[in-house]
Amino acid sequence: GAGVSQSPSNKVTEKGKDVELRCDPISGHTALYWYRQSLGQGLEFLIYFQGNSAPDKSGLPSDRFSAERTGGSVSTLTIQRTQQEDSAVYLCASSKGGSQETQYFGPGTRLLVL
């Protein structure tokens, strides 16, 4: 079946603009995660959604970052008033319902803020 997909694959924006990143999880996966990976660095947890529960937003770095998941499927990560330090690869992952399930990652969106 189809894996996790993300769009756009690359995004170049100017400082101060808003950007929206999209993630399509694997069909039937109830858990969805967003991570940020800066160049040569590890994966920084941002947020996760699990079913109808309230999302865990504890990893969002500032109030400029927000995410939503509509209909328990597609998720959008929004960064408002982008800053140069927001430049990174944003990875989305999804997994089945349990907390010890394998996370399947998308290809990522490479964001460059000029």
Partner 1 sequence: GENVEQHPSTLSVQEGDSAVIKCTYSDSASNYFPWYKQELGKRPQLIIDIRSNVGEKKDQRIAVTLNKTAKHFSLHITETQPEDSAVYFCAATLTGGFKTIFGAGTRLFVKA
* Binding-site ranges for partner 1 (CB under 8 A): 31, 33, 35, 41-45, 48, 50, 56, 58-59, 91, 95, 99-100, 102-103, 105-108
CA distance 111 to 73: 23
User: CB-wise, 7 or 44, nearer to partner 1?
Assistant: 44
User: CB-wise, 72 or 80, nearer to partner 1?
Assistant: 72
Least distance from partner 1 to the Cβ atom of residue 15, Å: 26
User: CB-wise, 87 or 103, nearer to partner 1?
Assistant: 103
Least distance from partner 1 to the Cβ atom of residue 75, Å: 14
Least distance from partner 1 to the Cβ atom of residue 38, Å: 11
Sign of CA dihedral 113, 88, 19, 112: positive
Least distance from partner 1 to the Cβ atom of residue 16, Å: 29
What are 93's strand-pairing partners?
33, 105
Structure token pair of residue 32: 């969805």
- Name the DSSP letter for residue 98: S
Structure token pair of residue 9: 């694959």
User: CB-wise, 52 or 100, nearer to partner 1?
Assistant: 100
56's CB contacts (< 8 A; 6+ apart) are 47, 48
CA distance 6 to 91: 8
